[in-house]
Amino acid sequence: MSLYKPCRQEWLGRGTCLVSKIQAYLQKLYEDEHMTDVIKLSHQVSHAQWNEGEGIWELKIKNLSTGEMLTDRCHFLLDRSGILNYWKWPSIPGLERFRGNLIHSANRPEDFDYRKKKVVVIGNGSSGVQIVPAIQPEVQELIHVIRSATWVAPPGLENMKASTAGEVVQALDLDGLRFTEKQIQQFNTDSAMYRKFVKATEEVANSKFALVRPWSRN
């Protein structure tokens, strides 16, 4: 879903959890656009079976709020359940005997306080690259365990400036990589300008799909 409504003033603040703000924004969009009838939140598909005789998918669905089991049927079933939802620990012998706090980035307790602790971060994928600089100023000691090399691309904004969206992005009022209050105000009041910005940046993002299509001529 593209963020076709301007981002909120509240997103500007630092210090509070951006994730909860984005979730609240999407929740509001869901209600404002009357999507409650067509999108079922907190429902988990637990079983899907193709009925060859009737040519239909038969589903078992659990309402995670009430525990109620439901059934549904459809002619076409599109699985978009993601590849990152079922995380696992790396197979490190003896890991289960570790006596400190063992935390996986996909299942981090929100209230975990890493300050003044000795922390070991395993891995330098995107998570490791983001977590290390974020916690480093506050931990007592940090050890980053790296197995192979990684490469980091220049910031997206710099790439955008050099792209077809360059003119629109250059005209933005930014404080470093952040939109200023003035800019957010303009997004909220000038819908034509906001639409131009969204379309220009989406065009750049969408053009990158050619990279993952081996048959692409681009």
Stretch binding ligand NAP (CB under 6 A), from 23-31, 142-150, 157-165, 202-210: 142-150
Q: Would you say the C-alpha torsion 95, 138, 128, 22 has a positive or negative sign?
A: positive
Binding residues for ligand NAP, how many (CB under 6 A)?
A: 15
Pick one of ligand FAD, ligand NAP, none as the site partner of residue 213 (Cβ within 5 to 8 A by kind).
Answer: none
Q: Residue 159 interacts with ligand NAP (CB under 6 A)?
A: no
Burial (0-12, 13-18, 19+ Cβ within 10 Å), 109? exposed
63 binds, among ligand NAP, ligand FAD, none (CB under 5 to 8 A by kind): none
* Smallest gap from residue 127 Cβ to ligand NAP (A): 3
Tell me, what amino acid is at 113?
A: D
102 interface partner picked from ligand NAP, ligand FAD, none, CB below 5 to 8 A per type:
none
Binding site for ligand FAD (CB under 6 A): 44-45, 80-82, 84-85, 127
Pull the structure tokens for residue 66. Answer: 């009430």
Binding positions for ligand NAP, rule: CB under 6 A = 84, 90, 92, 105, 122-128, 130, 145, 147-148
